[in-house]
Structure 1
Amino acid sequence: MQLFKKALLLFVILLMTSCTFTENIEIKPDGTGQFSLEMDGSGFMAMAGDQALKGMNAKENTKSIDSTFSFKQIFEDKKDSIAKLSLEQQLAIKKLENFVINIKMDPEAKQFLLAMKTPFKSINELDDLTETLGALKDLKGSADKKDNPAAMMSGMGINNAKLSFSYNAKSFTRKAIVAKSDIKKTENDSLGMAKMMFASSKYILKYHFPKPVKKVSNPDALFSDDRKTITVTYPFTDYTDNPDKMNLNVEFE
């Protein structure tokens, strides 16, 4: 458990450096699918070498971690804290129960990967996902944030945008709406700090559909050979500062 906590501490360090975030969505013919958000900090591990593991003793540095756990497990441990939240906050947190987190860290291979995944019955279940992740910050309890992986993931919900998805046989859309009143505010709050921390990071959209794509609104989108998968890369500052730049319209053949 101690080594696991130190892996989470490393995650906090990685959040202040160059990382690659990938938003994956796989949609099946019946409209069900899987959503995952992945963070790859391996580049930082390779660049920083042993300094990336500063704070762990030499014996622990040689150990690898491959751990999987669910938000439902975390929420069970924090049920007393959750019970003190407003009904709205409790409902937002409950929407994350089916998310599973996997952490892989291999000091020798200079690898650090974190992924959170959830199945969905309809793409609409992903609506307001960033706001829901932001609700995790309310899970303070008695634990410090560095020991609370759920609270750490709340940082992915601080872009002041309402995110929605739609899908049918003809098209797919990803739409983020930013309240005009929030744009100036973000320059002075924690989001402004996040923009500086993630200045060199990337945010990638990678979507797989059951049928070939005819057209994508972003001209920089890359296609797989069968045109069923599209990949679009953005600077992470677009996610934090201009989330509506990542709006996407897809038309199918």
Structure 2
Amino acid sequence: MKQFLLAIASVFLLTSCNFTEEISFNPDGSGEFIMRYDMSQVMKTMEEMGGGKKDEGKEKIKLDSVMYFKDMLVEKADSIATLPQEEQAKLKNLENIVIKMKMDEEAGVFDLGFGSTFTNLKELPEALAKIEEAKKMNSENNSQFGKMGESAVAKASESVFEYVDFTYDGKTFSRFIKEDYEIASRDIETLDAEINEMGDSKDVFEAMTYTLVYNFPKKIKSVTNKNAVISEDKKSVTLKMNFIEMIKSPEEMALNVELED
């Protein structure tokens, strides 16, 4: 299993993934944020690198797991107690982080998500910072994952929340771009240059998507963004856009959601 994940990490450097930003609200305004990475393309690329051959004798990996940092802290309490106080405090600060992984090698499905709970939306920036810290810790322990963060594509995905803000009062939810945000042409040029150097993988990266999924305890009355899709039960809204275009025109992913009384 470990070797398989390391192989995926290596292939990820040469492939792409689709991003999903999901927030689920409870009636009291608390909720969960999770950033998901659909890396099914990685599974496909690994098979192609193997010449498309399938090892019939090898058992295909299939799992659907959820790991809570708070459980890990309890399980590894003795080991953690030997760490410097600063490191212990850093780990304690991540106790609300959850990592979700769904993998079905036979079906070519690989979905990885980092998330955190919050008591109200004002805590979301702090939750996002903790998620990034958890990802950073993972990178420090794995050089292959660390290299991922050096690419312009990875940096672009991580910077999304530097210029996005949210508000929610139980009646109206808003996702908007901060007034002081101004896209740097140099960053766009670097991103375009990196993609242009990808050769045969260029088309795959240009097809990357970024999807918003927001789940509410009440039915949705209206949504301002014309490209947003309301679910059949009217309690969820989805908005999907090309990732590169989203980075260049983030205002296209802004929306206001009004809920029924």
Common topology (TM > 0.5): yes
Alignment CA distance shift 1:140-1:168 (3 Å):
closer
CA distance in 1, matches of 2:112, 2:235: 25
1:38 paired with 2:36, answer yes
Determine the structure 2 residue equivalent to 1:245. Answer: 252
Letter in 1 for 2:47: D
Letter in 1 for 2:172: S
- Give aligned pairs, total: 241
RMSD: 4.4
Determine the structure 1 residue equivalent to 2:236. Answer: 229
Report how far residue 209 of structure 1 moved: 1.0
Determine the structure 2 residue equivalent to 1:105. Answer: 103
SS at match of 1:126: helix
SS at match of 1:245: helix
Determine the structure 1 residue equivalent to 2:223. Answer: 216
Please give the residue correspondences for 1:87-166 in structure 2 after superposition, counting only pairs within 5 Å.
96-127=94-125, 139=137, 143-146=141-144, 155=155, 156-159=157-160, 161-166=162-167
Please give the residue correspondences for 1:158-237 in structure 2 after superposition, counting only pairs within 5 Å.
158-159=159-160, 161-177=162-178, 182-189=183-190, 193=194, 198-237=205-244
CA distance in 1, matches of 2:193, 2:135: 17
Alignment CA distance shift 1:53-1:212 (3 Å):
farther
CA distance in 1, matches of 2:145, 2:252: 34
Letter in 1 for 2:175: R
Gaps of 5+ in 2: 197-201
Letter in 2 for 1:50: E
Determine the structure 2 residue equivalent to 1:64. Answer: 61
Report how far residue 104 of structure 1 moved: 3.2
Q: Is the 8 A contact 1:136 1:151 kept in 2?
A: no
SS at match of 1:21: strand
CA distance in 2, matches of 1:178, 1:236: 21
CA distance in 2, matches of 1:124, 1:53: 47
1:50 paired with 2:47, answer yes
Larger mean Cα displacement after TM superposition, 6-15 or 207-216:
6-15
Report how far residue 68 of structure 1 moved: 4.3
Work out which of the two has the higher radius of gyration on C-alpha atoms and give 1 or 2.
Answer: 2
- Sequence identity percentage: 28
TM-score (normalised: structure 2): 0.69
SS at match of 1:50: helix
Report how far residue 200 of structure 1 moved: 0.8
Letter in 1 for 2:170: A
CA distance in 1, matches of 2:182, 2:112: 33
Letter in 1 for 2:215: H
CA distance in 2, matches of 1:238, 1:95: 35
Alignment CA distance shift 1:121-1:113 (3 Å):
same
Report how far residue 64 of structure 1 moved: 1.1
